[in-house]
Structure 1
Amino acid sequence: MSSPPANPKTPAWPPKSAPRLFVEQELSLGMHVHIEGTQAHYLGKVMRVSEQGTVILCDNLTGEWACLVTEISKRSITLTAHERLREREDVPDFWLCPALLKKDRFDMVLEKASELGARAIRPVVTRRCVADKLNLVRAKTITIEAAEQCARTALPELHEPQKLDAFMRDWPKDRILYFADEARNAAPAAIAFASHMGPAALLIGPEGGFDDAERAAIRAHPQAHPISLGPRILRGETAAIAAMAIWMAQAGDWNEREFAK
């Protein structure tokens, strides 16, 4: 299918202004999707969709679908999958591993990591963290909303926070681990990232940085590579966002070279 049913009021297909949502069920052509709860409120009361209007749905499995509004009731909206617009994207194999920060600052990390294209977000708890817990339901909502806003078709994997010693002990042997080391001389991030095209991850410390024992343990790990983010002391959220942007520019999908899958 390349166009919706004949309707003189139908805008250009698919309309660029159509609202976007992620749904849990796997989508297929002609499938009826019943939207309820907060998503139905968003479509009906905030976006004010009407019958035969268009909503873009993503399922994190098959990609992005243009769906027609076929029924609107008081508490639910029914959509019909009309056309698949894009397959699920294959994002670069990059994990962001940020130490937990204060809630509002970590919210920013979650949002921007999703927008920048992280494949996974793996929070870490270190000795100087001001927080040691994460509301995963709330955190997932932030990543989903960010993915909807920036037109991602693949959600980042979101993991439970893990203490640094267990995080390092269980680290996979086939994945390089960059870490921002503000205490010693290290390779500039752009140079380090450009030299490695395989699976990668980035470890960022908390507000107070890693303590000496943690830094020594990280440096001793065979997969760890220290990097520098310049001469200034950066906040945790700034370091995470800046370093990930550099990685995407050097080795990720901002680069024309084919990235490792």
Structure 2
Amino acid sequence: MIRLHVTTDLSPGAAAAPTLDQSRYLTQVMRLKAGDELLVFNGRDGEWRATIAEVLKKGVILRAEAQVRAQINPPDVHLLIATVKKSALEFAVEKATELGAARISLVTTQRTQAQHLRLDRLDAIAEESAEQTGRLDVPLVDAPRKLDAILDGWDASRRLMFCDETGGAPAIPALQAAGGSSWAILIGPEGGFSPEEGERLRSLPFATSVSLGPRILRADTAATTALTLWQAAIGDWDR
């Protein structure tokens, strides 16, 4: 059944108005009509069975019928990734959403190359991926911030998985030994972190330096690999 992310509060009989693009998708691509059913979620109220109550000239009106899944939170892991080329960044956002990242933050490092970013496009990719993978929420995508500023304001209760291309411990045993349930994963830019950045990251008491293997990975591959390793060591497989 089609799943759609909406922003409206959901309760029995509640009306929801999808965006114009979502309405076109429902009526013009999927050919739904009044009375047809779909699933909707808003990241707060769980997943609901809904029906198309009205088809208007400029959109549709949905009516929530019954909750089919209670709301659950995603695993408490954030992805921090240096801004890289458009295609790689879009792939990383899509896969991070599929792998359960609760938040995706873009990072500017000393070796980050200037990129033209469209946060609305990244938000749309995260939303579409959440709809397709059965998530009950959509991860936030944060605008780029400098790495130093992020580390200066870091909450030390959140562990940091530093993916170190110059070395580091095998990821799964290192993560399990570090413990903790709140984590962030840091992926560097093309060309890697500068020596100064690497030295600072390795000195942080809340950071765990890990290796992703003997080969140098592209940023999008590294993000997917790191999240998979985190899931294998600490993640939410039992849910």
- 2: CA distance, partners of 1:43 / 1:211: 48
Is 2:37 aligned against 1:54? yes
Shift of 1:198: 2.1
Report which stretch shifted further, 59-68 or 153-162: 153-162
**What's the counterpart of residue 100 of structure 1?**
83
Contact 2:34 2:51 in 1 (8 A): yes
Shift of 1:203: 0.6
Shift of 1:162: 0.9
Is 2:142 aligned against 1:150? no
Contact 2:52 2:62 in 1 (8 A): yes
Q: How does 1:169-180 map to 2 (within 5 A)?
A: 169-180=152-163
Q: How does 1:58-77 map to 2 (within 5 A)?
A: 58-77=41-60
Cα deviations across residues 184-223 of structure 1 (Å, max 9, x unaligned)?
A: 3x21011112232321111111111001111112112221
Is 2:101 aligned against 1:118? yes
**What's the counterpart of residue 86 of structure 1?**
69
Gaps in structure 2 of 5+ consecutive residues? none
Cα deviations across residues 125-166 of structure 1 (Å, max 9, x unaligned)?
A: 112122356322221111001100101101112222110110
Gaps in structure 1 of 5+ consecutive residues? 1-17
Contact 1:179 1:204 in 2 (8 A): yes
Work out which of the residue numbers 163, 169, 182 in structure 2 matches 1:187.
Answer: 169
Is 2:13 aligned against 1:30? yes
Contact 1:36 1:75 in 2 (8 A): no
Is 2:174 aligned against 1:200? no
Contact 1:140 1:158 in 2 (8 A): yes
- 2: CA distance, partners of 1:38 / 1:218: 43
Report which stretch shifted further, 199-208 or 123-132: 123-132
Q: Which amino acid in the other structure matches residue 187 of structure 1?
A: A
| TM-score under structure 2 length normalisation | 0.95
Q: Which amino acid in the other structure matches residue 34 of structure 1?
A: A
